Structure 1
Amino acid sequence: MLAIGRRYLNFWPVFWAFFLLVIQVVTNLWLPTITADLINRGIAEADMKYIWSMGAIMLLVALLSWFSAIGNVYFASKQSQGLGMKLRRDLFKKVLFMDERHFQDFGDATLITRTTNDVTQLQNLYQTMLRMMLMAPMMLIGSIFMAWKLSHDLMVVFLIALPILTVAVAVNIAIAMPRFRSMQKKIDKINLIFQQGLTGVRVIRAFNRDAYELEKFDHANRDLTKTSRVVLTTIALLMPIMTVILSFTNVGIVWFGAKLIGQNLMGMGSLVAFLTYATQILMSFMQLSAVAVMVPRAQVSATRVREVLNRVDKITDENADVIVNPVVNMRENTDAIVNPVVNMRENTDVIVNPVVNMRENADVIVNLAVNIEENTDVNKMPRLELKNVSFKFDEAQRPALQDVSVKVKAGEMLAIIGGTGSGKSTLLNLLARLMDVTQGSIELDGQDIRQMRQQDLHEKVALTQQKAMLFSGTVRSNLRFGKADASDSEMWQALEIAQAADFVREQGGLDLAVEQNGANFSGGQRQRLSIARTLIKPAEIYLFDDSFSALDFATDSRLRKALNASVRHQDKIKVLVAQRIATVMNAQQILVLENGRTVGLGNHEQLARTCPQYQEIMRSQLSDEDLAKMGISLENEEISSKTHDRSGNTGPSQLMKGGKRQ
């Protein structure tokens, strides 16, 4: 908790808050003494001049206390609110760049709670700390000293009251503190159930599970209420208990003070001042008690916030090299080739006969340099290569991907097909470096992507996921996620390729409103808008993670034809995960995965003849007539059965038509 304060609080505002607080404490401790003198000398002796002078001093001291209190509140509020703002910003930034695995470990419900509720707890604590937590101990110590100066005898009353107060506070904290962490976890659970209820409301209604979800929420709600009731009741009881103790203490002070006045051992003004100090002592103790209750809860929140901020991501830029454009290197190297020619020509005065040969060779070298210069455009073309890529999730028994190798050149499309759990989406996440490979490497333009800055890599990669994610706003604002300065013509071009232009134009154009998650569009429309957002990005590699799944066959076909015909995307690499044979059959390369392993790699014609798993997918999706045209027989499935026996699977193949990935 202190570490958070050191990191997010500024020194000078905290210094001024503390300085003004000291002034406020000093003035508050001085006022009862002035009051005592005013009563003992001014009122008792009817000295109006003294009364007016002391009254003026009291007014000035009170004004000084008032202004210092306002200044302290200003700086304390500014710092605490600033701390909350910075914490929320850093938490959001951390979540944005968090590893996929870590995000799944936390869950979005608890991340929301930590960013809102826990930060608010810390914000309130630091505001209290800069006010009450610093003021209370100073007032307590100062008031005890001033009261002791006024009367040693009346201090006996405090020797009885303070231990009782200490026991009351200790019992209160002992009951409440262990339940604070439990409360936060139960708030997380409430948020999770509520969030799932909102996002899954259609499924809940479709399966008639309303009563079950209500019961589940009610159970979690009652559980949180029970814990909160114990905690808040315990805390609430502290204040009346302390008020009762304060009242009895004041009665004791007045009773003993009256005796001392009767014996002429104390003046009336001194008793009034002592009562004021007694009130300040007990109020300071009550404030410390409130802080003591607040600190454990804030400590829990600080721990939860630090768990997020201090989580070390596996995907970092630590190994990133300086990215050098190979084209620049080649152009620079042409000088190294041409310069020797100049040197040779300069030495012609010394060597006469070889000059002709050298000049002839120089022409060859110069021509070579020209050729390299002309070929720089070829080297600008992206190249993607997977070298023996393997990946294993933490605590998983077997790898999700194992020894996958493939090369993709500029302008080619790599299609990936396979059954549920075969590793298709995992492979795309590795290509986008949302996760890092366990073994092997993924190289883009000859450079391992782990040696590239994430920002540089993500500028070269555009990803469309199966579950289309649209942000609230307009079609225009969503498309500009792909390219911030995209013109209207570029947007319409991307929409045309994605087969989304017609319904966007009919419903209001680029300024068509988009609700949260694209709730005002159908599944197919959301996917097409998501594809358009990807296509508008000037990337080198376009990744489509089963993002055609919600499209009908005709729209799917038109979209792929438009994409292949797009001049802007012709020299780009396209990697497509799909379940349909019709979607992948025109790709230059098709990668067939099963249980994370490569079982087929080639074009459609090659795999249709040689890959049993690919043949089985074709049998599940294509008619006998279509299969006959391709030369695929349905007479027996011995090859397929043997393949499944070797892989250790039994029963029907998981490579079924329209199978949805998990």
Structure 2
Amino acid sequence: MSAGERDVEAEVATASIGREGRRAALALFRELVAPYKWLVAGMVVTLLCDIVGMLYIPTELAALVNTAIAARDADALAGHGVSMLVAAVVGSGGCIASYYLASKFAANVGRDLRVRVYQKSLELAHSDFEQFGTGSMITRTLSDANVVQQMLLMGFIMMGPVPVTCVVAILLAFGVDPVMGRLLVAVTLVILVIFGLAVWRSAPIFVMLQSFIDRMNVRLREYITGVRVIRAFGRESRERERLDSTFESYADRAIRVNLVFSTCDCATFFLMNVVESTILWVGADRVGAHAMQIGSISALIEYAMLIMFFMMMAQFAILQMPRGLACLSRAAQVLSATPVILDPEVPAELPSGDDVPAEVARFDHVSFRFGDADEDTLHNLDFALRRGEVTAVIGNTGSGKSTIAKMLLRFHDATGGRLLFLGRDVRDVSQHELRDRISYVPQRAWLFSGTIAQNLRDGDTKATDERLWHALDVAQASFVHELPDGLDARVSQGGTNFSGGQRQRLAIARALVRKADLYVFDDSFSALDFKTDAALRHALSGELEGAATLLIAQRVSTIRGADQIVVLDEGRLAGVGKHDELVRTCPTYRAIVESQQMEGGEADGE
């Protein structure tokens, strides 16, 4: 077994559904079905019409042969014919209606499940999201919901008629002849044993297939995203082998399932022929003994074929049940997850207007530790962000600079001390209101597929075109003026049709569209040349006068004019002050300045 297969087998071993998983899946199923009780009732009624029509036709056919034809009674023949026609119309109408209602029911439940899982993913914190993984969350939202939808549709259409058809057909057979009734009971039991063995063999494989889909999603997303790195290092062959091993493992399990299906089908078709021959043989003997009439043989064959036909259809639905149950369980895991970051039951209101304090945010002896870490990432930070001032944060890689920005947005909560925003502890404020008062440019400038205008209006959906152009001008995104479509220019997923510097400027413009109390720039100037960097900072100084600004950067030239510079050293506060003061008093900051000067005068370059 390859390393890739061992990885997947390990995942599958931890993904098996236990009793709690089944209980959670069934509870979720009841919640999803509850809003559609009347739709389910309509499905049942129309399905019964379909079954009654199907079973009534062979019964009338037998009566037609035994009475009307034998007695050469034209009126009776016409009467039976009309009854069969009515049964056909009722059965066909019920079949069409039941299929339509079942499709509508399954589609609605699938939609509700996708919406619930997606909405839950929006509530999860970063640490919560990591326990599932991006690839797995995509699978649970799309593939798993589709499996559940198909399970419901197939389950109703293919399994729904089975119990009623079997019971009624057997009772009708007993009404014709007890011997033939017992024969149909024996046939039904044999088919149930065959299907039981098929389910027993294939159910675990179906559960494994969903984990393989997870793995394929993860690897495909990883390879497609990192295709340039793979090509740059000539790793195509190795990565192809790793991906092929996952594909082969999935194909191997799928082949096993298909083998079970084909074996079951062959056995059922063989049994159908045996049953038909047996009914003819036993029926002829019973007719010869005057125990039954010859027309009843056709009815009995039809009863047997209907039982076996629906049982064959049911095998596909039955084999989907374990897979659907596994998918429901996986969705229930997401829906039952309690986010680490929660809103208070009664959120405090943030001040507005004249009541807004000059101190926009304060780190009050704040410490932070990731859930899986052995020590704090940030240690006892104590500084404030004030309105009208630019506060810069600088430090070596891994010193916790971006964590500060994420804590302000409450992507993480402090594990020690308090983080105040407009005088309120951020844990006492709703996440929506907090983030509505902050404008954020992430370290990775991510853009969404659509137009430039649509991306900019993520900052404010009501922003006018004039406001968008103003934000672009402040962000030094003059290249948009040169685009043929201007604001309507298309943006590919992630903004890959723009350069890194252009993406950063568009992300900055998006943040400037929002009128906020605090603007956070998380290393947002790293892809800009020194001239554009300087021009942008000059433009921002006049644009953000009434707000607090947090500027996280690696280059000293970007932050040297800040009103306050916070220097971090391995998550600890190494110094707070202005550039000239820190050069004299803070060894850590002075070392950063000197290293950048040695690398080419970056600290002094404008």
Q: Fold match, TM over 0.5?
A: yes
Q: 1:275 to 1:508 in 2, by over 3 A?
A: closer
Aligned residue for 2:179, secondary structure, equals: coil
Is 1:3 the counterpart of 2:45 in the alignment? no
Structure 1 position 326, deviation (Å): 6.6
Is 1:538 the counterpart of 2:564 in the alignment? no
Deviations 1:258-314 (A, max 9, x none): 011112111111111111111122223333333321101111111111112221112
2:206 equivalent in structure 1: 180
Is 1:411 the counterpart of 2:388 in the alignment? yes
Aligned residue for 2:131, secondary structure, equals: helix
Matches within 5 A, 1:614-653: 614-622=589-597
One-letter code of the match for 1:208? G
2:581 equivalent in structure 1: 606
CA separation in 2, counterparts of 1:319 and 1:277?
61
Q: Tell me the TM-score normalized by structure 2.
A: 0.92
Structure 1 position 129, deviation (Å): 2.8
One-letter code of the match for 2:560? M
CA separation in 1, counterparts of 2:357 and 2:51?
71
CA separation in 1, counterparts of 2:441 and 2:299?
75
Deviations 1:461-512 (A, max 9, x none): 1111121111111111111111111112211111111111245435542122
Conservation of the 8 A alpha-carbon contact between 2:365 and 2:381: yes
Is 1:232 the counterpart of 2:254 in the alignment? no
Is 1:572 the counterpart of 2:598 in the alignment? no
Structure 1 position 41, deviation (Å): 0.3
Aligned residue for 2:567, secondary structure, equals: strand
Conservation of the 8 A alpha-carbon contact between 1:464 and 1:534: yes
1:253 equivalent in structure 2: 279
Q: Tell me the TM-score normalized by structure 1.
A: 0.84
Matches within 5 A, 1:147-166: 147-166=173-192
1:313 equivalent in structure 2: 339
Aligned residue for 2:305, secondary structure, equals: helix
Structure 1 position 443, deviation (Å): 0.9
Aligned residue for 1:383, secondary structure, equals: strand
2:8 equivalent in structure 1: none
Conservation of the 8 A alpha-carbon contact between 2:350 and 2:424: no
Structure 1 position 38, deviation (Å): 0.8
Deviations 1:550-583 (A, max 9, x none): 11111111111110022xx211111111111111
Matches within 5 A, 1:209-228: 209-228=235-254
CA separation in 1, counterparts of 2:451 and 2:103?
37
Structure 1 position 382, deviation (Å): 5.9
Deviations 1:519-538 (A, max 9, x none): 11111111110111011111
Deviations 1:238-267 (A, max 9, x none): 122111112111111110000111121111
2:536 equivalent in structure 1: 559
CA separation in 1, counterparts of 2:304 and 2:597?
91
Percent of paired sites with the same residue: 34
Structure 1 position 109, deviation (Å): 1.2
1:660 equivalent in structure 2: none
One-letter code of the match for 1:619? E
Q: Which has the higher contact order (CA 8 A, sep 6+)?
A: 2
Q: 1:149 to 1:200 in 2, by over 3 A?
A: same
Q: After TM superposition, where is structure 1 displaced by more than 6 Å over at least 4 residues in a row? A: 624-627
Conservation of the 8 A alpha-carbon contact between 2:391 and 2:564: yes
Conservation of the 8 A alpha-carbon contact between 1:492 and 1:501: no
Aligned residue for 2:242, secondary structure, equals: helix
Aligned residue for 2:178, secondary structure, equals: coil
Matches within 5 A, 1:33-44: 33-44=59-70
CA separation in 2, counterparts of 1:5 and 1:48?
54
Structure 1 position 81, deviation (Å): 0.7
2:305 equivalent in structure 1: 279
Q: 1:119 to 1:326 in 2, by over 3 A?
A: closer
CA separation in 2, counterparts of 1:100 and 1:194?
22
2:488 equivalent in structure 1: 511
Deviations 1:1-27 (A, max 9, x none): 433333233111111111111222223
One-letter code of the match for 2:429? M
CA separation in 2, counterparts of 1:56 and 1:85?
43
One-letter code of the match for 2:327? S
CA separation in 1, counterparts of 2:269 and 2:486?
67
Deviations 1:352-406 (A, max 9, x none): xxxxxxxxxxxxxxxxxxxxxxxx37x3656211111111111211111121111
2:18 equivalent in structure 1: none
One-letter code of the match for 1:428? A
Deviations 1:10-59 (A, max 9, x none): 11111111111122222322222211111100111111110001111111
Conservation of the 8 A alpha-carbon contact between 1:543 and 1:574: yes
Matches within 5 A, 1:75-114: 75-114=101-140
CA separation in 1, counterparts of 2:572 and 2:338?
30
Conservation of the 8 A alpha-carbon contact between 2:348 and 2:424: no
Give the number of aligned pairs: 579
Deviations 1:60-110 (A, max 9, x none): 111011111111111111111111112222222222232111222222211
Aligned match of 2:292 in 242, 251, 266?
266
Structure 2 runs not aligned, ≥5 long: 1-24
Is 1:21 the counterpart of 2:40 in the alignment? no
RMSD of Structure 2 on Structure 1 (CA): 2.1
Deviations 1:153-183 (A, max 9, x none): 1234335434432332222112211112221
CA separation in 2, counterparts of 1:531 and 1:225?
46
Matches within 5 A, 1:412-561: 412-506=389-483, 508-561=485-538
CA separation in 1, counterparts of 2:157 and 2:520?
54
Conservation of the 8 A alpha-carbon contact between 2:451 and 2:490: yes
CA separation in 2, counterparts of 1:626 and 1:289?
74
Conservation of the 8 A alpha-carbon contact between 1:175 and 1:234: yes
1:30 equivalent in structure 2: 56
